[in-house]
A and B are shown apart, each in its own frame.
Chain A
């Protein structure tokens, strides 16, 4: 899934499909991509269950299957929050450390006096 999303061309394909169902040629042209290249990217997206392909005669229609993205969106949001939550806890820890540090310096001053 993440490998499927990692390529900018595949993200572009998903964005275009989020507007409407398109056939492979319609997908390839604005992305300045050859037909086989577009087909290859679509295959990767199909394997990740993100795109469904429907064949009508010689035309391959692609449409977005957004359900798995919901999972990813939730997961990635959690992932980004990983650092934010870590650093917020670090903020609090540093406040505590500063307090103890100030206490120690005062003690040093008293001991020197």
Chain B
């Protein structure tokens, strides 16, 4: 099996969240898995019980996408956006970058606010380092996302609160 990488979440400044994760596969395949609906549908849906119900992709600069998911009961989540940059990876180790706007319509994050996501596919000797940089419109919007548990500092904070809860 592939040696699964560690998910890292950092906050380099007031308005960004950066997620990194290494994959034991060449960039070309990680790119395909991120850009073709038949592949995206197979992994981008969160916990068991969820499925991706819509995956419309028009992968070119100015092209739109819309993703929707449905979960247990009547839970659901959806987002849409526009591609600003689409640079496939090249054999020589260059390229490998997608920039798109993202707007959550329902289910998660600040609804209706536009965030900018940059997805980079970085060459690592035959493996791929995936780096997702999400830029939020304000610190408040970013912190709102952090408060939903995406940052390790918060996770540590919650660990302390967990101890407290365990003692209740």
| Interface residues of A, Cβ cutoff 8 Å to B | 2-3, 5-7, 11, 14-15, 18, 64, 66, 69-70, 72-73, 75-91, 93-95, 97-98, 101
Contact check, B4 vs A88: say whether CB atoms are below 8 A apart: yes
* Extra contacts besides A87-B43, A97-B25, A98-B25 (10): CB < 8 Å: A3-B144, A69-B165, A73-B158, A75-B148, A76-B155, A80-B155, A87-B23, A93-B43, A94-B2, A97-B39
Report the bound CA distance from A72 to B4 in whole Å: 28
Report the bound CA distance from A85 to B24 in whole Å: 16
User: Known contacts being A6-B140, A76-B149, is A89 close to B161, with CB within 8 Å?
Assistant: no
Contact check, B7 vs A83: say whether CB atoms are below 8 A apart: yes
Contact check, B42 vs A2: say whether CB atoms are below 8 A apart: no
| Interface residues of B, Cβ cutoff 8 Å to A | 1-2, 4-5, 7, 19, 21, 23-26, 29-30, 32-33, 39, 42-48, 140, 143-144, 146-150, 154-155, 157-158, 160-162, 164-165, 168
Contact check, B165 vs A79: say whether CB atoms are below 8 A apart: no
Which of B5, B23, B143, B161 lies in contact with A18, CB distance below 8 A? B161
Contact check, A94 vs B23: say whether CB atoms are below 8 A apart: yes
Q: Give the dominant DSSP class at A's interface.
A: helix
Which of B1, B143, B160 lies in contact with A15, CB distance below 8 A? B160
Contact check, B32 vs A97: say whether CB atoms are below 8 A apart: yes
Contact check, B161 vs A66: say whether CB atoms are below 8 A apart: yes
Report the nearest A residue to B161, measured CB to CB: A69
Query: What are the residues of chain B within 8 A of A2 when measuring CB–CB?
Result: 144, 147-148
Query: What are the residues of chain B within 8 A of A93 when measuring CB–CB?
Result: 33, 39, 42-43
Query: What are the residues of chain A within 8 A of B1 when measuring CB–CB?
Result: 91, 95
Contact check, B25 vs A73: say whether CB atoms are below 8 A apart: no
Which of B7, B29, B33, B157 lies in contact with A11, CB distance below 8 A? B157
Which of A70, A84, A87, A101 lies in contact with B29, CB distance below 8 A? A101
